[in-house]
Copies of this chain bind each other. A is one copy, B any other.
């Protein structure tokens, strides 16, 4: 992929951002605090800026036709000489997805991350052929890395992909701690020994500021720990008689590694069906995170050589993605997999909001073929990678920060997280709920404030080959077109007589089905003729612009009145 039309350099607008005082730590969440996704935070003090994560957000209904939404890095672009590095907490797209699109713009600083994450980033970078080489420094849990005058440390966090970590940035006023995405390994709400041990490091540390994942803090208690999911899946893989088709996210790498191990133990051959899953398992294999015997994995096309009860298919598309493996199976469009009533389908995933209809359709079509379907609604076959309120509370108790800024979530979730922090002992005046590009400062380690101005915050988006600023006009037009369609009216007019040369043409798409509406079209032609011939009598009409405006308005008004639809009307008047 080659990026074209990179967005023009950021031009500062509005209020000037004051320069940073020597006694101040500045925190700017550049994304991920008004949404789930596009996570990025800048931490600035002295002459240094540290960037934590560089994720993107998948486009939703509000941004039709857009591929991804990026954090706005305008603030960093103006200060690229200060950037000492990007710390990436783990290898999910909402934490690494923006790297190819922003890294050159902020001066190609080195990336600090753990091994698996590094491989995921490198693999992805291969798709961007013309990009400058990136610099990655691998770090490890417990390691201390000196960047400029500052020491960074890393700690292990439980999430759903190996090598997930949190970061400690040692400032002169205490630690700035960012957990990344986090949940806890626990049994009935009692954190595991490993968790207790990992977070015991904070007993000896003075934490100035904590930033923590807020995705699920509005849920009560503790989330289902992944080991319960492992056990459930192990039971199912062991006791199911026929073929198993298991759908999950390719990003659920820890779970996939576990499933591979159990399947192998149970003598099932493993079929991996889906490119992203293959890529991730391949990286895990290369790094020694995934070990298996020769012959345990087989090709999809060779499935027929084994009895069904000796097969497990790991499939992508549990979200109802149109072209992914599970959807093709559901739609009877899969080259090698045809369901039978003896098959068991395990959907080891939740439904991402917005995908309900697609997943429902997939389940309907799978169940039409008689397969038995197991979902997270009736069995513990999935758990979120983000901790609930109980976990957040426990973590706050261990880290005991002086100041708190919730990240990773919608505003409402961040506000709930502030309440949790206060419940854990943080002073209410020491919690700030940020917006994207808010500039928050901690002065002399004593007082947290939010500046009245913001860092650049216009939405930046990826669409096809382009990185651009989101155009509201474009979005409004697409939404209108997607509901109402458009109509082009073409008129050839005699410039001397002001009369139409022939009957006007009307070309419409997405409006109403014209074949069924001949009367409407005939009446519209009359309206067109009348509008244009009236305009042409007017001496202003020489430039045709006002005639075009009048024509568009007359046709729009008529069509609205007759159909209650508001197609975009494009008037074409050719004078000959």
Contacts and interface: CB of A to CB of B under 8 A. Distances in A.
A32 to B, nearest CB: 14
A553 to B, nearest CB: 16
Interface stretch (A105-113, A235-243, A390-398, A484-492): A484-492
A568 interface: yes
A412 to B, nearest CB: 4
A478 B511 CA distance: 8
A412 B485 contact: no
A570 to B, nearest CB: 6
B464 A565 contact: yes
A377 B216 CA distance: 11
B357 A412 contact: no
A565 B5 CA distance: 14
A306 to B, nearest CB: 28
Interface string A351-364: 00110110010011
Interface stretch (A45-53, A61-69, A225-233): A61-69
A574 B492 contact: yes
Interface string A35-59: 0000000000000000000000000
Contact of A478 (B378, B483, B572): B483
A488 B570 contact: yes
Contact of A510 (B218, B357, B373, B478): B478
Given A377-B219, A411-B367, A574-B574, A474 B360 contact: no
A463 interface: yes
Nearest to A36: B360
A447 interface: no
Contacts of A512: 463, 466, 474
A8 to B, nearest CB: 9
Main secondary structure of the interface of A (DSSP, over half): mixed
A471 interface: yes
A378 B218 contact: yes
Interface string A459-473: 000011110100101
Contact of A517 (B5, B562, B564): B5
B507 A61 contact: no
A496 to B, nearest CB: 14
B353 A356 contact: yes
B570 A463 contact: no
Interface in A99-147: none
Interface in A57-100: 60-62, 64-65
Interface in A347-387: 353-354, 356-357, 360, 363-368, 373, 377-378
B488 A65 contact: no
A564 B464 contact: yes
A357 B482 contact: no
Interface string A488-517: 101010000000000001010111110011
A363 B412 contact: yes
A563 B466 contact: yes
A290 interface: no
A149 to B, nearest CB: 38
A473 B473 CA distance: 26
B490 A510 contact: no
A282 interface: no
Contacts of A412: 360, 363-364, 366-367, 373
Contacts of A353: 356-357, 360
Nearest to A377: B218
A61 to B, nearest CB: 6
Contacts of A471: 513
A410 interface: yes
A479 interface: yes
Given A510-B478, A574-B492, A565 B364 contact: no
Contacts of A411: 364-365, 367-368
Contacts of A61: 61, 357
Given A363-B412, A478-B510, 9 more contacts: A61-B357, A65-B485, A65-B565, A474-B485, A478-B485, A481-B482, A486-B486, A492-B574, A509-B570
13 contacts: A61-B357, A65-B485, A353-B356, A360-B412, A368-B411, A465-B564, A474-B512, A477-B509, A478-B510, A481-B510, A488-B570, A490-B572, A490-B574
10 closest Cβ contacts across the A-B interface?
A: A482-B482, A464-B564, A353-B356, A481-B481, A364-B411, A477-B510, A65-B483, A478-B510, A363-B412, A576-B576
